[in-house]
Structure 1
Amino acid sequence: MRAAAAPVLLAVLLAGAATAQVADPVEDQSPVQDGALPPEAGSAEPSFTPLPAASLNFYGSPGGIDMPSAEMMPDGQFATTVSSFAGQTRMTLTAQVTPWMSASFRYHGMRDLNLFGFKTYYDRNFDVRFRLWRERRYLPQVALGLQDFSGTGLFGAEYIVASKRFRTPSWGGPARDGGRLMVTGGIGWGRLGSYNSIGALGTRPRFSGATSRGGEPAYDQWFRGPYALFGGIEWRPNDKLGLKLEYSSDDYVTETQTASLFNRRSPFSFGVEYQWKRHTRLGAYYLYGSEIGVAAQIQLNPRYPTRRLVVPAPYPVQPRAQWAGPPESWDTTWAESRGTVPGLRDRLTELLKRDGLVLESLEVGAETAELRYRNPRYTAHAAALGRAARALAATMPASVETFRLVPVADGMALSAVILRRSDLEALEFDPRSSAALLTVTGFADAAGRPGPEALPGAGLYPDFNWSLSHYTSPSYFDPSLPFRLDVGVDLRATWRPAPGWRISGKLRQRVWGNIKDGRLSNSVLPHVRTDTTIYAQEATTLENLYVARQWRPGRNLYARLTAGYFESMFGGLSGEILWKPVGSRLGLGLEGNYVVQRDYDQRFGFQNYDVLTGHASAYLNLGGGYEAQVDVGRYLAGDIGATFSVDRTFPNGWSLGGFFSQTNVSAARFGEGSFDKGIRFRIPLSSLLGKPSRAGLGLTIRPVQRDGAQRVYVPGRLYDQVRTAHRAGLEAGWARVWE
């Protein structure tokens, strides 16, 4: 029982981020090749019809039945695969992290294996695949892969594989440009070199993780030991049907010799697959001359929204010449009347409200207007920015030429975007309107407070709101029951007495759940995270209750103070300061916390454990949607070290990332897994519901939850609030500025 090593994955992500957007002119998966119109400059979201998704194997990676192929999924693709045969069930999450690299996390259960003291044995493993070169007219595509490359090594294998595609006549239904035949051949080591090997490269040592904590890379195993050939053919006569034939080099030694899960009679397997729906592919197979298998694949891509986003049409930008008379009549005498600006504010407030935006303040001069606004609706700040600019153009007197638009979060100004009104009028119907507007847009730091002449939005403070919603809280990888779940309702209330202040709390009522029946912790470190089972005993809990203040202490600086019950396990005092220039890709932060562990009943009491914890953080926007982060400091268990993470965020809000930590806690004291690591992803609700929303479904998966390298969860950390409204974040979604 163990997990794979995230450092290898993150190092590759960092190395490849700069080239991750290179389009493939040959592969069918290239968006511009898939019948799309080329995206305009500044746009990252072309509209196109996708080709059928790459076929995945039983391990959840592109391939035949049990063997891999060199095929890659479309860039950014997320795939979930469930496959089963001979008492084995494999559940895999795969992501095409870049056009040339994919990564997979798998949870594998085997009934009656009786391995390592478990009747039903569950194994967690990571894979990573790299495209070495692309398919050409006469040359195949070639890929290199590491399968289950650390830990127990039960499924450990390495391979080099080549695949070539050929066009065939279509048969039995519609097909784009006819059918497709793909021929694959490769050479494998480890499991993929265990049947009918043709040679050996040195000796493949047995990795000790098979009987210990696991989680560390097995470098000395890679591409060592016996190697063997494998291959297969996949024919897709049309867009729905797929037929597969495969020759396997996996002898299934553990399953057929150490145990008796099935009888491997032949190296050949056969399968048929059907594209049931746009995102779903089903398959049935006859494997190894003795077994029937089934599989289901679901593939989603941020570039192909599951539902088209439906929003109210924006206001058109009416050139002033059409309604304000000749230019000489654009005088500024109106600015001398004190009663004019409140009327402008009230009219602007109504226009913004229609678009789901909130006017925080308005300051108007003879030639300049500064609007501060909240964006509670749109995932892309650029979409909110464009609508706010159009509302200004529809309300401001003709002499107002310069717009300063300042997005605000909880009373804190995030940036200032400067637009000329004449540019809006001239570029609205330009063929390259988004890119053209970006070239004439200014980005600057915003003052901490509105100017003395600014009028605040009417009736904004104090503000009270509440909500009642359902929740689901999953728990993973308990050997006795791999998936546990609590479900119930949350009652949340928030009071904002003034700009920058927030008092918030959440009550939780569990309706049903079984996390309380999970295994107890065996950690030798302070139990800062592993007492989840004990914390789950109470059905009614106070999840959090805190007061927070955030503000701008100076140029390029953002600050936060939070006190109270931060989360279900800890409360205390937290302070944070962030340096982040609007036009810089680099940000630096410092956070300090004094926290006390809460009682298990999650009411108002505390336990005897307290700790000073905090981190210095560096944030770097790598371009192409990639963000790297390094946090160095002291964690909840008192251990000292660093966390490294890389996330990729798409313009529509989808994100995928991974992280790992190294601290002064040894692998032996850390326990199962050896060190902390995991993957995380977030899907915005707007792409699922077809309506604009800033909410999303997020999930962090750790192969094993331990107490080392754990941070306190503090609501409202600064960087994620700030980065999306700075220049790089706005440019990433700039294609939506005219929506």
Structure 2
Amino acid sequence: MIRFKPLQRSARIQAVVAALLVLSAPAVQAQRPDITRDVPDAAAGTAEAAPRLKPLPPPSLNFYGSPGIIDMPSADMLPDGQYAVSYSWFGGTSRYNITFQALPWLSASFRYNGIQTNGAQIAGFDTYYDRGFDVRARLWRERRWLPEVTMGLQDFAGTGVYAAEYFTATKRFEAAALGWGRTPGRLKVTAGLGWGRLGSHGAIASTGGQRPAFVGGDTGGELSYDQWFRGDVAPFAGLEWQPDDRWSLKAEYSSDAYTLETGAPNVFERKSSLNYGVEYQYSDRLRLGAYYLYGSEVGFTAQIQLNPNQPPTPMAVPASQPVAPRSQWATEEAHWRQDWAASVPKKQKIRDLAAEALKAEGLVLESITLKATEAELRYRNPRYRSASQAAGRAARALARTLPPSVETFRLVPVRRGTGLAAIELRRSDLEALEFSPEAADALFAASGVHDAGPQPQEAIVSAELYPAFTSSIGPYTEPAYFDPDQPFRLDVGLNLKASYAPAPGWRIAGAIRQRIWGNVQDGRASNSVLPHVRTDQVEYAQYGTTLESLYVSRFWKPGGDLYARTTAGLFESMYGGVSGEVLWKPVNSRLGLGVEANYVVQRDFDQRFSFRDYKTFTGHASAYAELGKGYQLQLDAGRYLAGDYGGTVTLDREFNNGFLVGAFFTLTNVSAEDFGEGSFDKGFRFSIPVDWFLGKPSRSSLGLTIRPTQRDGGQKVSVPDRLYGQVREAHRKSLEDQRARFWE
């Protein structure tokens, strides 16, 4: 039941009523593309058409890191896959925000904020730090007669300091549509209704139910669905005028009373509901803004937006040699009669030629099996992120070196001495389709992807592969997040890695770290009531020179569609032990099943060769699914490091260039009270491929996992060389998604 309140001050909603009237007016634009934000001209095709603006950059973000006006949300959505990081500050309140556009119609945000208290502490802190998650869903796109409409849940799983729900509508107009002649520019109008924080000022109705007041120091982390869209509802509205492609002028009417901040903490004085701002799009990725808020405060924002499909440096891959048609071999046909297949010296010569051709492409020949009309090449790919791109380079190398009688190529990418898949294609298709506009689709349709099987006994193996030794030295960073005394701590130093492969499938590897600078050691000691399986990070950070890892592992294929791994030694900075894993992953299936078992012992804080008393068995059964459009789902169930039982859900989105963004949560039999702040383990992760930055082929990535709170419940051991990621990249679904890169 909705109970309307009498409007004693109608002036405070006049701006909202005016905005709603504008929103109801007929628009002059067609459906707005998500990527360009380009709006068709109202007078297009006439002599008096207004000057066209360039396509706009993505919509700007509000102080909460979501598309919006200043402090209020708009209905905008970022381009699909967009990743935005922003910082905002005003009136003693700072907010660090991360937003990801997971689907064209769905976005999610994580926020870390600090509220200065001016002596009147919140939960015992002079500056109260808090974390929150937001989610937004577009209900419908903007149409000729309709605005774009979005529903949002703000701080829906935190302590509730910023908890709010809203519906918001946004409409865009060209200046010409407003009767402003040839004036360039665009006007964006937004209006909406908010609950919670966004219903705390100027409420016009109540939807019933009680919203409990915010309690500082609450553990948070649980969904407050019983409060959603309950209590007072208030209108908000705003305008954004874009005179050109760089500048934006903004004004809004805010429905947030800032009850907490203007109460005992006296963070700032709220004198007005009107906010004003100006923003400048410094570059395609950086936007800056300055504002005057609530009649008393000055604020600013800095926004950085990245899109995986728009790398800062275009990829510059050395061009591969073209396919050599067999007609060019005519002068040597006598030399390459089919009886070459019976000559061991000629086969060895062909192997050497193929090895040189592959080396020029950045690939390594492991073995080659030669018959009169077919050949199987097993190769290693240390350069290209895309298995399809590596296969294309390998196929063209064979076309330049194998005798003309060889018609069938069987390409087998190899990881740690084990074949991952077999890509079969006809040489004649390769020759015929090289310059076809439909080459990628046509060749993939004509090719087959099968299980690799064991290496043929008659294979000619490269004599220089084993034993193999590699080493590298580079910087490392070790962050620690969300300490109430200092939200971000960091250790930096040098990491020396080395590995030795004595035979196919075997690997001995390790890493030594030398910290150069850092302050993680100054963090707070653990207060966990569970075994301290992860929360003693401060204790492990007390030592400057550490042995990060030292282990021996074996990777092999025990049977069809089965892969296996065993690892023993020091897995990571906190644990060592014995680990085993088996993965069932058919090459043409999107599904995979795995089982992993680990017996681990906690390492001493100095991270040398000694151990602590804590020992435990941990392991999981896992299910993997490739959902399409780059989405990957992983479900784990089993026993975690603290002895708790439960399950983990992980959803990642990986783009064709290797850019990955994902989120996870774990629920176990540990109660929210015993778990502590955050109630259960959750977080998000991202991985940015190095070649996305550099524009040069590389398989390396820069990755980071962020948990709102690092606790001891729901924690896994980090074991090197887990199977699924290594195996999946060369199977059918990945090859199909990357098929266009076969010709790069």
Q: TM-score, normalised by structure 1?
A: 0.92
Question: Aligned-pair distance for 1:325?
Answer: 6.1
Q: 1:342 to 1:589 in 2, by over 3 A?
A: same
The structure 2 residue matched to 1:455, chosen from 457, 460, 470, is 460
The structure 1 residue matched to 2:112, chosen from 104, 107, 111, is 107
Structure 2 counterpart of 1:46 = none
Structure 2 counterpart of 1:144 = 151
Structure 2 counterpart of 1:419 = 425
Q: Distance in 1 between matches of 2:437 and 2:616?
A: 58
Q: How does 1:325-364 map to 2 (within 5 A)?
A: 331-364=337-370
Q: 1:50 to 1:370 in 2, by over 3 A?
A: farther
Structure 2 counterpart of 1:166 = 173
The structure 2 residue matched to 1:505, chosen from 510, 513, 529, is 510
Q: Distance in 2 between matches of 1:51 and 1:718?
A: 43
Structure 2 counterpart of 1:526 = 531
Amino acid at match of 2:694: L
Rg larger in structure: 2
Q: Distance in 1 between matches of 2:303 and 2:176?
A: 26
The structure 2 residue matched to 1:702, chosen from 704, 707, 721, is 707
- SS state of the match for residue 543, structure 1? strand
Q: Distance in 1 between matches of 2:350 and 2:434?
A: 23
- SS state of the match for residue 384, structure 2? coil
Q: 1:350 to 1:330 in 2, by over 3 A?
A: closer
Structure 1, gaps ≥5 residues long: 1-23, 36-48
Q: Distance in 1 between matches of 2:55 and 2:620?
A: 44
Q: Distance in 2 between matches of 1:377 and 1:207?
A: 56
Q: Distance in 2 between matches of 1:366 and 1:25?
A: 61
Is residue 489 of structure 1 aligned with residue 494 of structure 2? yes
Question: Aligned-pair distance for 1:31?
Answer: 6.9
Q: Distance in 2 between matches of 1:416 and 1:99?
A: 35
Q: Distance in 2 between matches of 1:430 and 1:274?
A: 45
Structure 1 counterpart of 2:277 = 271
Structure 1 counterpart of 2:235 = 229
- SS state of the match for residue 630, structure 1? strand
Is residue 315 of structure 1 aligned with residue 321 of structure 2? yes
Structure 2 counterpart of 1:77 = 82
Question: Aligned-pair distance for 1:207?
Answer: 6.0
Amino acid at match of 2:66: S
Question: Aligned-pair distance for 1:67?
Answer: 0.3
Question: Aligned-pair distance for 1:435?
Answer: 1.2
Question: Aligned-pair distance for 1:33?
Answer: 8.1
Structure 2 counterpart of 1:382 = 388
Structure 2 counterpart of 1:395 = 401
Cα offsets for 1:453-477 (capped at 9, x unmatched)? 1111231100111111111111100
Is residue 650 of structure 1 aligned with residue 650 of structure 2? no
- SS state of the match for residue 512, structure 1? strand
Question: Aligned-pair distance for 1:642?
Answer: 0.5
Q: 1:31 to 1:624 in 2, by over 3 A?
A: farther
Structure 1 counterpart of 2:291 = 285
Say whether the 8 Å CA contact 1:324–1:330 is kept in structure 2: no
Question: Aligned-pair distance for 1:262?
Answer: 1.0
Question: Aligned-pair distance for 1:378?
Answer: 1.0
Cα offsets for 1:283-323 (capped at 9, x unmatched)? 11111111111101000001111110111101101221233
Q: 1:153 to 1:326 in 2, by over 3 A?
A: same
Q: Distance in 2 between matches of 1:129 and 1:91?
A: 18
The share of aligned pairs that are identical, in percent, is 59
Question: Aligned-pair distance for 1:329?
Answer: 9.8
Say whether the 8 Å CA contact 2:35–2:58 is kept in structure 1: no
Say whether the 8 Å CA contact 1:153–1:210 is kept in structure 2: no
Question: Aligned-pair distance for 1:447?
Answer: 1.2
Q: How does 1:86-101 map to 2 (within 5 A)?
A: 86-101=91-106
Cα offsets for 1:649-698 (capped at 9, x unmatched)? 00000011110011111111111111000001110000101111110111
Structure 2 counterpart of 1:543 = 548
Q: Distance in 2 between matches of 1:25 and 1:363?
A: 59
Amino acid at match of 2:670: V
Q: Distance in 2 between matches of 1:473 and 1:500?
A: 30
Say whether the 8 Å CA contact 2:37–2:58 is kept in structure 1: no
The 10-residue stretch of structure 1 (49-58 or 517-526) with the greater mean CA deviation from structure 2: 49-58
- SS state of the match for residue 736, structure 1? helix
- SS state of the match for residue 341, structure 1? helix
The structure 2 residue matched to 1:157, chosen from 137, 157, 164, is 164
Question: Aligned-pair distance for 1:26?
Answer: 2.5
Is residue 64 of structure 1 aligned with residue 72 of structure 2? no
Q: Distance in 2 between matches of 1:624 and 1:327?
A: 47
Say whether the 8 Å CA contact 1:28–1:51 is kept in structure 2: no
Question: Aligned-pair distance for 1:30?
Answer: 3.8
- SS state of the match for residue 442, structure 2? helix
The structure 1 residue matched to 2:476, chosen from 471, 485, 496, is 471
State how many pairs are aligned. 697
The 10-residue stretch of structure 1 (368-377 or 177-186) with the greater mean CA deviation from structure 2: 177-186
Say whether the 8 Å CA contact 1:379–1:653 is kept in structure 2: yes
Q: How does 1:201-280 map to 2 (within 5 A)?
A: 201-206=207-212, 210-280=216-286
Q: Distance in 2 between matches of 1:554 and 1:187?
A: 60
Amino acid at match of 1:612: F
Say whether the 8 Å CA contact 2:36–2:58 is kept in structure 1: no
- SS state of the match for residue 254, structure 1? coil
Amino acid at match of 2:130: D
- SS state of the match for residue 359, structure 1? strand
Question: Aligned-pair distance for 1:347?
Answer: 1.3
- SS state of the match for residue 258, structure 1? coil
Q: Distance in 2 between matches of 1:209 and 1:100?
A: 33
Q: Distance in 2 between matches of 1:165 and 1:274?
A: 19
Is residue 195 of structure 1 aligned with residue 201 of structure 2? yes
Structure 2 counterpart of 1:430 = 436
Is residue 370 of structure 1 aligned with residue 370 of structure 2? no
- SS state of the match for residue 257, structure 1? coil
Structure 1 counterpart of 2:691 = 686
Cα offsets for 1:495-528 (capped at 9, x unmatched)? 0000100000100000000000100001111111
Question: Aligned-pair distance for 1:419?
Answer: 1.1
Q: Distance in 2 between matches of 1:329 and 1:25?
A: 66
Say whether the 8 Å CA contact 2:160–2:214 is kept in structure 1: no
Say whether the 8 Å CA contact 1:151–1:210 is kept in structure 2: no
The structure 2 residue matched to 1:670, chosen from 667, 672, 675, is 675
Structure 2 counterpart of 1:184 = 190
Question: Aligned-pair distance for 1:50?
Answer: 7.1
Q: TM-score, normalised by structure 2?
A: 0.91
Q: 1:455 to 1:33 in 2, by over 3 A?
A: farther
- SS state of the match for residue 743, structure 2? coil
Amino acid at match of 2:528: S
Say whether the 8 Å CA contact 1:152–1:207 is kept in structure 2: no
Amino acid at match of 2:78: M
Question: Aligned-pair distance for 1:326?
Answer: 11
Say whether the 8 Å CA contact 2:338–2:372 is kept in structure 1: yes
Amino acid at match of 1:652: N
Question: Aligned-pair distance for 1:331?
Answer: 4.2
Amino acid at match of 1:418: E
Say whether the 8 Å CA contact 2:30–2:143 is kept in structure 1: no
Question: Aligned-pair distance for 1:703?
Answer: 0.2
Is residue 661 of structure 1 aligned with residue 666 of structure 2? yes
- SS state of the match for residue 160, structure 1? strand
Q: 1:413 to 1:51 in 2, by over 3 A?
A: farther
Question: Aligned-pair distance for 1:714?
Answer: 0.3
Question: Aligned-pair distance for 1:150?
Answer: 2.4
Amino acid at match of 1:128: V
Amino acid at match of 1:63: G
Q: Distance in 2 between matches of 1:439 and 1:566?
A: 42
Question: Aligned-pair distance for 1:203?
Answer: 2.5
Question: Aligned-pair distance for 1:258?
Answer: 3.2
Structure 1 counterpart of 2:604 = 599
Amino acid at match of 2:492: V
Does 1 or 2 have the higher relative contact order (CA < 8 Å, sep 6+)? 1
- SS state of the match for residue 65, structure 2? coil
Say whether the 8 Å CA contact 1:151–1:209 is kept in structure 2: no
Q: How does 1:8-19 map to 2 (within 5 A)?
A: none
Is residue 439 of structure 1 aligned with residue 445 of structure 2? yes
The structure 2 residue matched to 1:618, chosen from 615, 623, 633, is 623
Question: Aligned-pair distance for 1:151?
Answer: 2.6
